[in-house]
Amino acid sequence: MAAPMAVKKNMNAFKIIAIGWLSILMATSFSKAVDMEDFFTSEHTNNWAVLVDTSRFWFNYRHVANVLSIYRSVKRLGIPDSHIILMVADDMACNPRNPRPATVFNNANEQINVYGDDVEVDYRGYEVTVENIIRVLTGRLPPSTPRSKRLLSDENSNILVYMTGHGGDGFLKFQDAEEISSVELADAFEQMWQKRRYHEAFFMIDTCQAESMFQKFYSPNILAVASSRVGEDSLSHHVDPSIGVYVIDRYTYYALEFLERVEPNSKKTMGQFLQVCPKSQCVSTVSYRTDLFRRDPSKVLLTDFFGSVRNVELLTETMDFSNVTMPQTCSKESCGSQANQESSRPLKYAEQFPMPT
Amino acid sequence: MATYLRKPVDFLKIFAIYFIFLCCSCYGSVDDSFTEELYIKSLERGHVLNHFQFTTLWNSSISDENTFKNYRYFPKALGDVLATYKVQELHLSQSQGQWDYEHWGYQPEDAPPGVELWVWFQPQASNLDQVWAELVNALSGLFCASLNFMDSKATVSPRWSFRPMGLASEYYSFDSRLMRYSALPREIVCTENLTPWEKLLPCETQAGLASLFNGVKMYDSSFHSLGLHVRPVCQDGDCTKEGIELKQTLSVVFNPVNNNRGNIQDHQNWSLKSMFDRSLHKTCPVAKFSKLYVDSTLHPRPKMLLTPEPDEVLNTRRGGDKRVYAVYDLRQHTRDSVPFNLQASYNSRVQYQDVTPPPLYAQRFVTGYGLEKGGISCILYNNLDTNLTVIYMETIPWYLRVYFSSVHIEAYGVTIKPYKTQFNPGKDRKLPHQLEVVFRLRPLSVTKISFEFDRAFLKWTEYPPDANHGFYVNSAVISTMLPSGQQYTAVPQNGSTFSDSLKDETIQFFLRLHTESLLVSLPTPDFSMPYNVICLACTVVAIAFGSLHNLTTRSFRAVDPSKMKKGLIDKLKNLLKWKKAEEVKDNEEKDEKKDTEDDTDSPNVGENTGTAARKRAKAPSDSSEEKS
């Protein structure tokens, strides 16, 4: 009689203990789940930027200033040079006509040198062609292309694509010699989607009739903004009399004003960025396209595209690695015969001038 | 108790660290050393040359596979490229501006305007055309320059002009198939090229002489040049083992007297602060030594006073040329974290006068007129009193078709026969023309070498986007052996650091000169013509053909004019006509009434005439119908 009672008691106790353990486990797992959610809120793991200036010649100084301003912002917010493809079609900084060599300014007060002293241009001069931009986006580059000229994005990458130059209804002019059409660009983005080369893309374009360039997009997860509608011209902002050319375009100028106040840990949203430069400031109407983008832009952080995701987790416990046997590396004594072959006779320098003097 | 225990633990820790350090230095020891030097020389007419040299010497063979597995000071980015493409020697220079040989003497590392790359591959490398194409692509990514344009259309293998500068086995240097040379005169050099170049240095720009690099000042100069030279060298004096030397050089020529800002000074006073806008705070801690040499040779020109005083003053002779160098050990000067700013002041004004020219210099230019033919002439000035044998090398793009028969060398009207000639004619769209001529210059003479070319028509897709700018022709390269060290500042072949050039005892000096690059116009089509033609053709079609087509294919039929819809003016006119007609009709009616008694037709005169007209109109059609 006592035994079954005792067993029952034990069983009860056991049940209580088991339920207690389970609840503790579940609580911890839930909290862990919360931690994981905080860890991966935006679903992308790396950021890339493709910044293109398509104009050649000195009087298109402002387009180079545009693209270098965005380059500067993007670098400041965390995207490293290895993840930025910068294409500049002409050299303005060291142009013989530049009265301030090695500088490109985006403002007549000449306070910020957007060219800076740490700039790496990947495609320059004659290399900025329609073929190269399509190849970079789709990844179909010749095997000898170096790593810094490749867009090595994957399905977890957020890509910012910024293009500036002279454009028209349905095309963008490259270097006064050729043009890229909106259909080509839409197809390039579709190729990127099919090859899983982006998670989300933000397409920004500052040219005349810029809206026409993104009207033909049909791939998902693209948020696009353009500086002007079809039929409107995008205007430049102001001229720098000491340099003699217009130094920045209106849309990029106001976009930059917005971006200069953004820090890497900022909570500003893309929705706020899309409202930059109303018609009173820009004269042209800034238009954007959100139907292909599945998230609400007002809930998307600006740094999802302009900054770089660097999720770092600090571990407090030590980790043990198993011993890996490496092939015996040579120390000076043991591998003297192999490494530094002592020749039987002394080595000689080549004769520089092979002719009798 | 705790303190007693701590001591052995501390001792163990220190011992462990030391042991690890020892092991690291024993195992796969990377034995390389790094030095940084700056050479300042004031040139004629107020210019000042600053030549930085960063030398890394590595006691390991470049052809050994295990060399490029462990790195210390040698940059890994460059080492990977050298190992992958089996490079024995690599020489890359990027410059902007033209070095004025006549007034400035010779460069420590000679460089043409634009980019020049020449590479010797290891003897076991195969399929060199493919390897070269991949190498230039890799270097273009590494240095942010468009080196990928150095394809077969711009690459040559010179036979005599570019012998290896480093160690070479017996017959290696004779085989010019193992080397490639290419130059792009159009390439610009700017901060975007300086950035990756300076990232190859061990201390980058954080400390050392590289912290003086200020793009805004350096690119506002008369001449600047970046150089990167890799070659195998002797590890020690008896030269039994091979090592690798990496020399990164940066030359910049400032003009403190007239620095393009409008303020002209009288004296050539310069300082590090005025030239670079920065002073030196710290030397590179990993450098073996960090030195500054100022050439303070007294010429018959303003005497220079240096502040602070030099640590050492060397009186040297180089090939008969007396020189005085003021040497500064920068490590001592920046030891107490006092910024070091070297200042030089001159006691009299800059003299703009004729200077003693260097032993050999040259000028090259395009001759001819029009867009069909042309010529290139190069004038070489020999200011020595001995004969001088020179190798003259030209690389001409394929679209300037060179006539080998027109190559002509003369001095004072006397034709000079070349000692040796090598001409590889170009192939359209595949190979450039390559000319190497060896000839002798008479003492104190002016010699001219010239040849002619035809300009080709390019296909319209082959023009660059700014076709009317023109097309560049590479610099000519002139190589010679000088018997005198006058104006010669290069590092000798068996030395590595710049200090080795101060102790140079050789009697012959190998010189390589680069002439100007040339700009040639080709017959360029008017690229707006397709648009113009389309507009014109469409207009012609619309107006001429269109209207003619309408006229010939239109069918005409007669229309009752009164039934026709008329405009306002016509209606007004008709109104007037109708009124007149009414008056006439009234008069007629009055006459008719006098004649006849009744008129059963419609009272309206207009209708009457209309019906009458219709009857009349009908009649001929009836008749026509009957006829048909």
pLDDT of residue B603: 46
Give the number of other Cβ atoms within 10 Å of residue B220's Cβ: 22
pLDDT of residue B561: 80
Phi/psi at B174 (5° precision): -80, -15
Partner-chain contact B144 A339, CB within 8 Å: no
- Any A CB within 8 A of B306 CB: no
Please tell me whether the peptide bond between B113 and the residue prior to it is cis, using omega within 30 degrees of 0.
no
Residue A328: its chain B contacts at CB < 8 A? none
Closest-CA residue to A180 (of A133, A233, A123): A133
Q: Which of A44, A83, A199, A208 is catalytic?
A: A208
Closest-CA residue to A174 (of A55, A325, A67, A312): A55
Rounded mean pLDDT of chain A? 87
What is the average pLDDT across B579-608?
A: 59
* Residue A154, CB-side half-sphere exposure with 13 Å CA sphere: 5
Handedness of CA B339, B340, B346, B350 (dihedral sign): negative
Contacts 24+ apart (CB under 8 A), A240-244: A240/A105, A240/A107, A240/A108, A240/A110, A241/A108, A242/A99, A242/A108, A242/A110, A243/A61, A243/A98, A243/A99, A243/A100, A243/A105, A244/A99
- Any B CB within 8 A of A121 CB: yes
User: ∠ CA(A47), CA(A51), CA(A53), 5° rounding?
Assistant: 180
pLDDT of residue B45: 82
d(CA B186, CA A56) in angstroms, rounded, equals: 15
Judged by CB atoms within 8 Å, which residues 130-149 of A form the interface with B? 144-149
Tens-digit pLDDT profile for residues B275-326 = 999 999 999 999 999 999 999 886 655 678 888 999 999 999 888 888 899 9
Closest-CA residue to B47 (of B228, B223, B218, B201): B223
| Chain A residue with the nearest C-alpha to that of B493 | A349
Residue B278 three-state SS: coil
Rounded mean pLDDT of chain B? 86
Partner-chain contact A350 B508, CB within 8 Å: no
- Any A CB within 8 A of B252 CB: no
Handedness of CA B110, B116, B117, B118 (dihedral sign): negative
Handedness of CA B564, B568, B569, B572 (dihedral sign): positive
Query: Residue B54 corresponds to which amino acid?
Result: F
Angle, helices A250-260 vs A61-76, to 10°: value is 20
* Residue B542, CB-side half-sphere exposure with 13 Å CA sphere: 6
Q: Where do runs of H (alpha helix) occur along chain A?
A: 2-39, 61-76, 130-138, 182-194, 211-214, 250-260, 270-274, 279-282, 303-306, 336-339
Residue B500: its chain A contacts at CB < 8 A? none
CA distance B628 to chain A (A): 59
Predicted confidence band of residue B378 (pLDDT cuts 50, 70, 90): very high
Partner-chain contact B64 A100, CB within 8 Å: no
Partner-chain contact A352 B493, CB within 8 Å: yes
pLDDT of residue B304: 83
Tally C-beta pairs within 8 A across A and B: 174
User: Chain centroid to CA B300: how far?
Assistant: 37
- Out of B191, B239, B479, name the one closest to residue A93 (CB): B191
pLDDT of residue B416: 95
pLDDT of residue B596: 54
- Any B CB within 8 A of A184 CB: no
User: Who wins on pLDDT, A206 or B265?
Assistant: A206
Partner-chain contact B29 A331, CB within 8 Å: yes
Predicted confidence band of residue B389 (pLDDT cuts 50, 70, 90): very high
d(CA B321, CA B314) in angstroms, rounded, equals: 14
Judged by CB atoms within 8 Å, which residues 345-404 of B form the interface with A? 388-389, 391
DSSP string, A147-189: GGGS----TTEEEEEEEESEEETTEEEETTTEEEEHHHHHHHH
- Any A CB within 8 A of B62 CB: no
* Longest alpha-carbon distance in chain B: 162
pTM of the model: 0.82
Residue B219: its chain A contacts at CB < 8 A? 93-94, 101-102
Q: Where do runs of H (alpha helix) occur along B310-435?
A: 330-333
CB neighbour class for B347 (10 Å; exposed up to 12, middle 13-18, buried from 19): exposed
- The answer to whether B241 touches A342, Cβ cutoff 8 Å, is yes
What is the average pLDDT across B225-229?
A: 96
pLDDT of residue A244: 92
The percentage of chain B sitting over the pLDDT mark of 90, rounded to a whole number, equals 62
pLDDT of residue B618: 45
What is the average pLDDT across B213-227?
A: 93
d(CA B495, CA A352) in angstroms, rounded, equals: 14
Residue A330: its chain B contacts at CB < 8 A? 28, 66
Residue B386: its chain A contacts at CB < 8 A? none
Predicted confidence band of residue A318 (pLDDT cuts 50, 70, 90): confident
How far lies B14's CA from each of B2, B4, B10, B11, B29, in Å? 18, 17, 6, 5, 21
pLDDT of residue B13: 54
Angle, helices B76-84 vs B128-143, to 10°: value is 170
What is the average pLDDT across B176-204?
A: 94
Partner-chain contact A102 B137, CB within 8 Å: no
Q: Which two tokens stand for residue A121?
A: 């241009």
Partner-chain contact A124 B191, CB within 8 Å: no
How far lies B244's CA from each of A35, A213, B56, B125, B445, in Å? 52, 53, 8, 18, 41
CA distance B194 to chain A (A): 9
What is the average pLDDT across A303-331?
A: 79
Give the number of other Cβ atoms within 10 Å of residue A47's Cβ: 26
CB neighbour class for B97 (10 Å; exposed up to 12, middle 13-18, buried from 19): middle
Residue A332: its chain B contacts at CB < 8 A? 26, 29, 31
Give the number of other Cβ atoms within 10 Å of residue A211's Cβ: 25
Tens-digit pLDDT profile for residues A18-51 = 776 776 666 555 544 445 545 556 688 899 999 9
pLDDT of residue B528: 86
Active site residue A238: no
Handedness of CA A52, A57, A62, A68 (dihedral sign): positive
- The answer to whether B66 touches B325, Cβ cutoff 8 Å, is no
What is the average pLDDT across B81-99?
A: 95
What is the average pLDDT across B64-80?
A: 92
What is the average pLDDT across B473-498?
A: 93
| Chain A residue with the nearest C-alpha to that of B66 | A339
Bridge partners of residue B392, in order along the sequence: B437, B478
**CA R_g for chain B:** 42
Partner-chain contact A94 B238, CB within 8 Å: no
Residue A276: partners with Cβ closer than 8 Å, 6 or more residues away: A251, A254, A255, A258, A286
Q: Which two tokens stand for residue B565?
A: 């819809």
pLDDT of residue A356: 84
pLDDT of residue B604: 44
Least confident of A103-112, A210-219, B297-306: B297-306
- Out of B188, B192, B420, name the one closest to residue A120 (CB): B192
Active site residue A166: yes
